[in-house]
Structure 1
Amino acid sequence: MIEKRGLRAEILLVLGVSLGASAVYSIIRIVDRLTYVAPLSQQTATLNPTIVADRPWLDLIYQLYYIASPLIPALLAVHLLRRDPEPHEIGLDARRPVGDLWRGVAMAALIGLPGLGLVWAARQLGISAQIVPSGLTEHWWTTPVLILSAVENGVLEEVVMIAYLLSRLRDLRWGWWAAVVTSAVIRGSYHLYQGFGGFVGNFVMGLVFGYFFRRTQRVMPLIVAHSILDIVSFVGYALLKDHLGFLN
């Protein structure tokens, strides 16, 4: 077992090259939004933006790069856990495909349906920017890229924030709920760029996912659930954006 000082340094470094850095950026971004001349409710947060509109082939390369590069911290986290003398059981495998799939679908429904109501309520209260899940222009590769982006989000967030962080905090002898709440706060923080609705929704999601991992020690259903949520959000928006005025 690595000494506690080494574990703390490792955790800070892993978060510092991944979602911890995103949390810092989002805190700066929400300060920017709150001090901007326009109210928060009149601002827009665009996910999956177009990078190079006039050269679709180059835009595709950019999109694939931005999908692939964040997976490196997730691979690093898995590598660090597996190199321990007593490797952690995190359930990142294909041993239970059917069970992982149906649990992931159930978790997506549990989180997604109330989440849609939260998005609407946050917009009505003026505590959230207008979220645009896809800013990509329409090309033959738009839907595949959005699906890959959704899966990348699921892998990165659930591997780092759940499988890695909860395991490492337990190595530091943290109580389960202290670890789960800490993970959920960080998860909510790196969604602050969307407004306070994004923080609340993802904080609750972090609590639910953390509790599930505590009970099962399997991260695969959480990756499935997160991927489904983002696929529905990204692809659904791209296909139905002209009919989603109720979220504005």
Structure 2
Amino acid sequence: IFRDSGVITVAKDFDQVVAEQLDSIDIAACGYLSPVTDPFQSLNAKYHLSEKIIRVFVERNIPIEFITKAPIPEEVIDLIKQQCHSFGQVSILTLKEDLRKILVPRGASTDLLLQNLEKLTQEGIFAVCRIDPIFPYVTDKMKELVELIERIESHGVSHIVTSILDIPQKIKRDVFSTIKKYFGVAMEWDYQRLYRENMDGYLNADISYRKRIFDGLRNACERKNLTFALCMEYELEKGEIIGLNKGVYEFSQLRRN
């Protein structure tokens, strides 16, 4: 509905639905806010659904995590720290604020996102920073990524997660058009050449490019004694989709040897 007409829909009282679902089961995994939308976007300031859902989990002593590119509400901090296995993830794409405004125009500034991480760690809440997604040829310069890792580490973070932009087949023309609008026609051509691997309806950057970036990031994290993981990164091997977390570790070890 939003893509067609700009109408935003809200599942009012969804926290009550979640509460009923949790009360109906005997075993529950960690809650997750949210795989497809930021839980603390501006609309949440009106409905407070994210805080209500977090409260539902915490009251039942079930862990919950969130991922955000927005300022974390104080109420969320107060709730999360009541459940010792709950944690927060903050996505930071770049230290360049002018570039951040293009990539995440409605997100918080990078300084505010770093403050998010510091606030979590100061409150004793496990904090994860996601460099996610990396935009090829835009935010992938290793020197800048290492600088970002150093800034993240200085704010108390010990675990970093990353991925490289994948492009849904259904909107690839829109994505390439947007790349052209902000970064020029040459960049659009570069993306079309790089994004040739089709897996489960998504275009992925060339596997050798992705492994090179991940290898550099893993090594940078290890030098700072940070743990490192990938999110939803795969490769095709003899027609089978294989997760890259283990593979990138082995690739890194081979490079060292």
TM-score (norm 1): 0.30
**TM-score of the superposed pair, with normalisation by structure 2:** 0.29
Structure in which a larger fraction of residues adopt helix: 1
Structure holding more strand per residue:
2
